[in-house]
Amino acid sequence: MATPFTVTIDSATISTTEYSLPTDSTTRVAQTTVCVLECWIDFAAMTAAETYDVIMYEKVNGGTQRVLFSNRLVGVQAELYRLGPLFVSEGWDVTVTKIAGTDRSIGWSLRKDVGEVNVIQWLGTACASPTVSGVPEVDVTYWTGVAAGAADVYGGVPVHKSSTPVVTAGEVDSATATTLTVATTGAPEVDDACIGMLLVSWYINEGNTDWQCRRISAYDSASRAFTVNADWDNTPTSAWSYRVVADAVADANVVKWLNTAVPTPTVAGVPNVNTKTWNDLTTAALPLTPTVAGRALDVSAGGEAGVDWANVGSPTTTVGLSGTTVKTATDVTALLPAALVGGRIDASVGAVAANAITAAAIAAGAIDLATLAADLLTALYVRQNTATAGGASTITLDGAASATDSFYKNTKIFIASGTGAGQTRGYSSYVGATKVYTVDSAWDVVPDATTVFILFTNVGAAGGTVDANVVSWLGTAASTPTVAGVPNVNVKTWNDLPTVALPLIPTTAGRTLDVSATGEAGVDWANVGSPTTAVGLSGTTIKEVTDVAAALATAQTGITSTLEAVGVIRRNTAQAGAASTITLDAAASASDDFYKNGLIIILSGVGSLQFRTISSYVGATKVVTVDRAWASVPDNTSVFLIVVAGGAGSSGGATAAEVDTQLTSTHGAGSWRADRGVS
C-alpha cells in the first residue's frame, strides 16, 4: 500500500516565466501520481501593484494536458490561497506566473493523499451514499478557518477571498467569440459600465471547473451584452456563471465632460481647455500673443519693454514730444559715406561686390534640416530597431538594447512593420540580460525576427482604456464650462513657473503683439501715451530735424547713380512662374533684356529665399529666364527683388537714365524710394 499522506514544502522567486510547483522549476512536467491533491500557496509578499496567476492542469484519457482552471490574484493577499482538494491522476501540474509588478518569493505546500482506504463512517456516523459513485459529498461550513456563507459561492463554485471588489455577478444568457450576454438580474443599467474591469466566467460539470477571464472593452445595457478584449478559449453558454471584478484602477479615455461630448483636441492627446481663472484671478480677455509664434517679449528688470525701432507703426503721425530732450544732431552731410559732389551723392561710393549674395552663401550652415529632422524624430521615441524574436506576450529587442532591468518602464511598444504590424501594447517588464520586453496583454499576432518595433515615452500604464464622463475632480463637482465640452481650469503654474498675475491682454480681443526675433515689441506711433512728458534722451544720437524732403530732391540724380551701382532696380509681386522662369508684374520694363545679368531674389511667398542670375528678359511678356531651375517654383504670391550686378554700361544691363526713367514713370519722382525700401 502506498504512503497515505505526503507533504512537499518549498519556495521560489516567481517571475513572468511560468513556474511549476511539483517540479520546482520553469519546466512543466505531467505528474502521474494518483492522489487527492491540496495546494497551499502563501502570496503574502504581494503588493497593491502586483498581479499573479495560478493555473491547474490535468489530462483526461491520455489526451493533451489542458488548463483545468486558472485564478488571477491582484493586489495585497491577506489570506493563504488553497487549491483543492482535487482527485488527480493522468498528467496534472500546478503553476504560478507573475503578470505584473515585482518578482516575489512565494512559498507553497503540496499535500498529496494516496492512501487506499474505504470510508464507511465519519466520527462514528455512517457515511451517506454519494450522488457520484466514489465521490464523497461534504457540507462546507468553514473556508480557510472562516465560517462559509452564501457570499462565498457563485453558481455553486467556492470563491477565493481577497480584497478585490466584485462589482456585479450572476448567470450567463448566451455568448459569442468576443461577447457575453448576461441575465437581467444583476446586469448593469448604464452603457459602457465596467469598461477596463475583469469579466470572469466559469462552469462546473461533474466536479470539473472551466474558468475564463477577459477584460471588458464595451457594454450595451439594452442587450445586456459585454464585449471583451480577446476571444474566449471556450465560448460560454447559459449553463455558465459570471462576475465583474474591479481588479485595478483603469486608464480613462475622456469622451464627455458633464454629459457633453469632448471636442477633438487641436494637438492629439492634449485636451483643449477654457481658462476661466489664472492663479485664482478671473480672466477678462484673451492674453496678448506675438504675431510670430514662440517669440518672447524682451523686458528689462524695471519692467520696460524693448522697442523694435525698425517696426514703428504709423511713423508719419505727428506726436508732440516738446517736453523731451534729445542730443544735438551733427551735420547730416558729415554722416554720409562720401562727400557730396554738386550737392549729390557720387557713384564713387562703390557698388556691392559681384556675387556677394548667393544662394550657396546663405544656405551653408544656416539651417541644418537633416539635424533638425533627426532631433525631432529622436524626441518622439525611446528606441526603434528590429526584434530578434517574439512570444505570446513578449518581444525580444535587438542586441544593442539596454542591459538594465526595467530600463523601458512606462513606455509603450508599437509594431511599425513586419510580422504583427499595427499592434500597440503597454509595458509589463523588461529583463536587460535577455532583452525580453514583456507586454501587458497577449499579442494578436506574435512578432518575430522580421518585426520592426518603436518604443514611445510618456504613455499610460498597462491595461485597457475607459471612456469617462468627468463630473467631479478630487471629490468636488466639476464646474459647468463656458464652452460645452471644454473644461474651465485655474492655471497655477506655467512651464513649472508659478503664475502671479493675469497675463497681459489687448484692449481689442483677438489682437496679437508684433515682437521681433530678438524680443523687441513693435510701436504704434499713432498711439503714444503722454507724448508731451519730458523724457531724457540726451544720450541718443538722431538725425538732424530739417527739411529732409528738400535735401533728398536735390540729391535725387546722385541717388539714382548710387542705386545703379548698388543694383536695386525693382521690387514687386510676380504674376506667375515656371521651372526656370518668373513673370514679373505688368508694370515692369517693356524693353527686352532690360534686367539681364541682374540678380533676382524671391523675398516672400512661394519659393522665398531663392537667388538666381537673370539670363534673359522679354519686355512684351515680362518673362525673366534665370540661369538654373528653381528649387521651388514661384507663383503669383511670390514677392521678388531685382539687383543689377554691375554699373552703367554692363553687358545687357540698364543705364542710370533707364533706371531713373523706369522707377519715376512707375512710382513718381518723389515716392519710389520709400516704395522700394531705398533711403
Min mean pLDDT across 344-358, 601-615, 636-650 is at 344-358
**154 shares its domain with 89:** no
Q: 137, 61, 49: which is closest to 98 by C-alpha?
A: 49
Residue 73 above 50 pLDDT? yes
**107 shares its domain with 150:** no
CA distances from residue 482 to 205, 477, 492, 493 in whole angstroms, order as listed: 59, 15, 19, 22
What would you measure as the largest C-alpha separation in the chain, in angstroms? 140
Report the helix count and the strand count for the chain, using DSSP H and E.
6, 50
For residue 560, what pLDDT is reported?
A: 42
**448 shares its domain with 404:** yes
Question: If you average pLDDT over residues 65-79, what whole number do you get?
Answer: 92
Contact 85, 112 (CB under 8 A): no
CATH classification at residue 218: 2.40.30
**Could you check whether the bond before residue 85 is cis, i.e. omega within 30 degrees of 0?**
yes
Classify the C-alpha dihedral 19-24-29-31 as positive or negative. Answer: negative
For residue 488, what pLDDT is reported?
A: 86
**26 shares its domain with 78:** yes
Question: If you average pLDDT over residues 123-138, what whole number do you get?
Answer: 76
**181 shares its domain with 239:** yes
**Predicted confidence (pLDDT) per residue in 209-224, tens digit:** 678 899 999 999 999 9
For residue 342, what pLDDT is reported?
A: 65
Cell numbers of 667, please? 512710382
**18 shares its domain with 92:** yes
Domain stops at, among 221, 249, 277: 249
Contact 460, 249 (CB under 8 A): no
* Residue 315 within any structural domain of the chain: no
Name the band, by pLDDT with cuts 50, 70 and 90, for residue 371: low
**446 shares its domain with 561:** no
Question: If you average pLDDT over residues 588-612, what whole number do you get?
Answer: 93
Question: If you average pLDDT over residues 343-372, what whole number do you get?
Answer: 55
Number of domains forming the structure of the chain: 4
Name the band, by pLDDT with cuts 50, 70 and 90, for residue 559: very low
Name the band, by pLDDT with cuts 50, 70 and 90, for residue 254: low
**Predicted confidence (pLDDT) per residue in 394-444, tens digit:** 999 999 999 999 999 989 999 999 999 999 999 999 999 999 999 999 999
* Residue 77 within any structural domain of the chain: yes
* Residue 188 within any structural domain of the chain: yes
Q: 674, 669, 657, 471: which is closest to 556 by C-alpha?
A: 669
Mean pLDDT of the chain: 78
Task: Report the predicted TM-score, pTM, of the whole model to 2 decimal places.
Answer: 0.27
Min mean pLDDT across 215-229, 339-353, 445-459, 513-527 is at 339-353
Q: What is the DSSP letter of 197?
A: S
**Predicted confidence (pLDDT) per residue in 157-174, tens digit:** 444 444 456 678 899 999
Q: What percent of the chain has pLDDT over 70?
A: 71
Residue 533 above 50 pLDDT? yes
* Residue 474 within any structural domain of the chain: no
Residue 644 above 60 pLDDT? yes
For residue 353, what pLDDT is reported?
A: 61
Domain stops at, among 233, 249, 265: 249
Domain stops at, among 424, 455, 486: 455
Q: How far apart are alpha carbons 323 and 312 in whole angstroms?
A: 21
For residue 366, what pLDDT is reported?
A: 53
Q: 98, 87, 101, 8: which is closest to 54 by C-alpha?
A: 98
**95 shares its domain with 153:** no
202: containing domain: 146-249
**563 shares its domain with 661:** yes
* Residue 340 within any structural domain of the chain: no
For residue 248, what pLDDT is reported?
A: 46
Name the band, by pLDDT with cuts 50, 70 and 90, for residue 564: very low
For residue 3, what pLDDT is reported?
A: 55
Name the band, by pLDDT with cuts 50, 70 and 90, for residue 647: very low
* Residue 216 within any structural domain of the chain: yes
Name the band, by pLDDT with cuts 50, 70 and 90, for residue 96: very high
**92 shares its domain with 164:** no
For residue 589, what pLDDT is reported?
A: 95
Question: If you average pLDDT over residues 55-73, what whole number do you get?
Answer: 91
Q: How far apart are alpha carbons 521 and 528 in whole angstroms?
A: 14
For residue 270, what pLDDT is reported?
A: 76
Residue 554 above 70 pLDDT? no
Q: Please enumerate in sequence order all residues whose Cβ is within 8 A of that of 257, keeping only pairs 6 or more positions apart, or say none.
A: 469, 470, 478, 481, 485, 486, 487
CATH classification at residue 72: 2.60.120.510
Question: If you average pLDDT over residues 45-73, what whole number do you get?
Answer: 92
Min mean pLDDT across 281-295, 323-337, 624-638, 649-663 is at 649-663
* Residue 67 within any structural domain of the chain: yes
For residue 264, what pLDDT is reported?
A: 87
**158 shares its domain with 99:** no
Name the band, by pLDDT with cuts 50, 70 and 90, for residue 597: very high
Cell numbers of 164, please? 478585490
Q: 585, 577, 628: which is closest to 607 by C-alpha?
A: 577
- Dihedral Cα 13, 17, 22, 23, nearest 10 deg: -90
Residue 307 above 70 pLDDT? yes
Min mean pLDDT across 92-106, 146-160, 344-358, 573-587 is at 146-160
Name the band, by pLDDT with cuts 50, 70 and 90, for residue 306: confident
**553 shares its domain with 670:** yes
Residue 361 above 70 pLDDT? no
Q: What percent of the chain has pLDDT over 90?
A: 39
Q: How far apart are alpha carbons 474 and 466 in whole angstroms?
A: 18
More confident: 251 or 60: 60
For residue 609, what pLDDT is reported?
A: 86
User: b vs e for 473-508, b when ≥16 Cβ sit within 10 Å of the residue's Cβ?
Assistant: eeeeeeeebeeebbbbbebeeeeeeebeebbeeeee
* Residue 219 within any structural domain of the chain: yes
More confident: 42 or 113: 42
Residue 44 above 80 pLDDT? yes
